[in-house]
Amino acid sequence: MTTAVVWFRKCLRIHDNAVLSWACESDEVDSVLPVFIMNEEIGAEGDNKFGFNRTRFLVESLRDLSDSLERELGLKLMILKGAYLETIDTLIDSLEDDAFLAYEYCSEPEILLLSVEINDLGSSGRTAFRSRAFPASHTLLDIEKTVRSPTYSNPKSMKDMERIFRNQFGTNEIGFYDIKDPLPVPEIGKPMAELKSLHNEIEISYLEDYLLSQYPERMGKDQYFHGGEGEALERLARKVTARPAYVNNFRKPKTYSTNLQEDPREPSTTGLSPYLSTGCLSIRKIWKECEKSYLSGEHSQPPESLHGQMMFREMFYLLSRSVINWDKSTGNENCKEINWDDFDRSKMESWESGMTGYPFIDAMMRQLDETGWMHHLGRHAVSCFLTRGQLWQSWTRGRDVFERKLVDSDWAINNGNWLWLAGVAPFSMPYYRVYNPCPDSKSSLNVETELAEFVRHWVPELKDFPSRYIFEPHLAPLPIQISSGCVIGKDYPLPIVDRKDSRKKNLARFKISLQN
């Protein structure tokens, strides 16, 4: 008798889940045990990587996964708390049947190392244990196979990605990359494995109680992005499937960084990144939904199209696997070393809490804090401001804040984009193209400036300010500040740096760093 231990990691869903489908359908398997391991660092006190929204989103996704496993397949999700290897070791020992650990391949260095250690569990005299990592569960490409292919070299551009896609997938008769359709929810269930309860097993309600006790005031508030496969599929249907014209005309640089005018919390883009990062939504599923729209007529192309966005995602997954020290500022061949200033607590705190005195930057950072999300061009603006633009702090500091706060926090993508925006990577924009943190209607940051509802919503101190001054309010004459109910320097901060002086100084410093 063999029990398949289906280890859910970054595919918190039952659609297009190769591991689950295999376990439910394979003749090798007699019973199934779905497991999620709450690594010790998740939600730990003072933890650096999991802030409130990220943890909440994960817990909601687990609740949804647990419900759908039970409803659709009669299986119960077991949640175990502890270090990965030890937890797997104990779990395997407590099974009466032979165990087959099946899990999604993950390209992060620590997890790759763990895969080797997991294999060792099988070779250390445990004959009743086998394991298998399923490739291309979280990405379109089989990352391991692609980076090992003889034609592979690190991609720097969309042209490189198109070449890689052609090589790996080929094209079909209508000229689309020949990417497989997503798998349906498995039809055949298997009995749930028999297992005595384990000392480190926890209920989802324990995690929900934990959130309530740690963040009582935040849990009471209306949250914007909710975790779970159900939410993911609903958003996909509403934002993508139902809007072929939107999909076909999608040009990322033209989308508004300030969200929808009627709702400052709703993205002008799909807003699907949190669901892709947690795997509540399969990347293949959204890829194929876009293809359906593309069949209906003319459509935009990479890098601007929706497919283009997903190809950037694949690019960062490849690089994060092939570039050693991907998340480091030294010993990383994709990162020029720049002489950033030492950690400046005051600047970092002003930036993180949205109190820089630059309303556009502050609105973006407050949106991040409250909802866990920010538009791509907003991320451009705040990361440029923190690094080569104004504050001259290392990109790794901003990366850490994003990692903790984003509901779409993703190791490969977050590091890749910070490298890009700090101007230090081969695929970066030229370092001297610095965004103006006080954008006007012509800015490539695509800001709605006429009514400026986005700034009014997120920086309510300025809600009655005239649009003309709202992006640089300290320039408003004092009588206007008084009549708008916000005196700059008293009710809202003065700019923490002079944007023009700091830009000039930093450009010179960047140039010198490059020469060294």
Ligand X SMILES: Cc1cc2nc3c(=O)[nH]c(=O)nc-3n(C[C@H](O)[C@H](O)[C@H](O)COP(=O)(O)OP(=O)(O)OC[C@H]3O[C@@H](n4cnc5c(N)ncnc54)[C@H](O)[C@@H]3O)c2cc1C
Contacts of 349 (CB under 8 A, 6+ apart): 355
Stretch that binds ligand X, among 50-58, 150-158, 306-314, 488-496 (CB under 6 A): 306-314
Residue 413 touching ligand X (CB under 6 A)? yes
**Do the Cβ atoms of 344 and 502 come closer than 8 Å?**
no
Out of 15, 235, 313, 321, the only residue in the binding site for ligand X (CB under 6 A) is: 313
- Which residue is listed with tokens 């020290």? 325
CB of 395 to ligand X, least distance (A): 8
Residue 11 touching ligand X (CB under 6 A)? no
Q: How far apart are CA 319 and CA 207, in angstroms?
A: 34
Which pairs from 360-366 meet CB under 8 Å and 24+ separation?
A: 360/437, 360/438, 360/439, 360/445, 360/447, 360/455, 360/471, 361/385, 361/437, 362/458, 362/459, 363/454, 363/455, 363/457, 363/458, 363/459, 364/257, 364/458, 366/458, 366/459
Q: How far apart are CA 98 and CA 100, in angstroms?
A: 7
> Contacts with ligand X: how many residues (CB under 6 A)?
30
Q: Which tokens go with 176?
A: 């689309």
Residue 316 touching ligand X (CB under 6 A)? yes
Contacts of 239 (CB under 8 A, 6+ apart): 246, 270, 271, 272
CB of 116 to ligand X, least distance (A): 26
Question: 100 or 225, CB closer to ligand X?
Answer: 225
Residue 383 touching ligand X (CB under 6 A)? yes
Contacts of 457 (CB under 8 A, 6+ apart): 264, 363, 463
Cis amide linkage into residue 155, ω under 30° from 0: no
Question: 251 or 468, CB closer to ligand X?
Answer: 251
CB of 151 to ligand X, least distance (A): 23
Stretch that binds ligand X, among 188-196, 353-361, 401-409, 438-446 (CB under 6 A): 401-409
Residue 236 touching ligand X (CB under 6 A)? no
Q: How far apart are CA 380 and CA 418, in angstroms?
A: 9
Question: 3 or 428, CB closer to ligand X?
Answer: 428
Q: How far apart are CA 79 and CA 85, in angstroms?
A: 15
Question: 168 or 282, CB closer to ligand X?
Answer: 282
Residue 305 touching ligand X (CB under 6 A)? no
Out of 22, 50, 129, 312, the only residue in the binding site for ligand X (CB under 6 A) is: 312
Question: 107 or 484, CB closer to ligand X?
Answer: 107
CB of 495 to ligand X, least distance (A): 22
Residue 408 touching ligand X (CB under 6 A)? yes
DSSP state of 442: T
Residue 386 touching ligand X (CB under 6 A)? no
Q: How far apart are CA 455 and CA 449, in angstroms?
A: 9
256-285 residues in contact with ligand X (CB under 6 A) are 267, 269-273, 276-277
Residue 423 touching ligand X (CB under 6 A)? no
Stretch that binds ligand X, among 34-42, 202-210, 373-381, 489-497 (CB under 6 A): 373-381
Residue 406 touching ligand X (CB under 6 A)? yes
Residue 300 touching ligand X (CB under 6 A)? no
For 81, phi then psi, to 5°, come to -110, 130
CB of 70 to ligand X, least distance (A): 28
Out of 410, 453, 461, 472, the only residue in the binding site for ligand X (CB under 6 A) is: 410
Question: How many other CB atoms are there within 10 angstroms of residue 428's CB atom?
Answer: 18
CB of 411 to ligand X, least distance (A): 8
SS3 78: strand
**Do the Cβ atoms of 327 and 415 come closer than 8 Å?**
yes
Residues that bind ligand X (CB under 6 A): 252, 267, 269-273, 276-277, 306, 309-310, 312-313, 316, 375-376, 379-380, 383, 402, 406, 408-410, 413-414, 417-418, 421
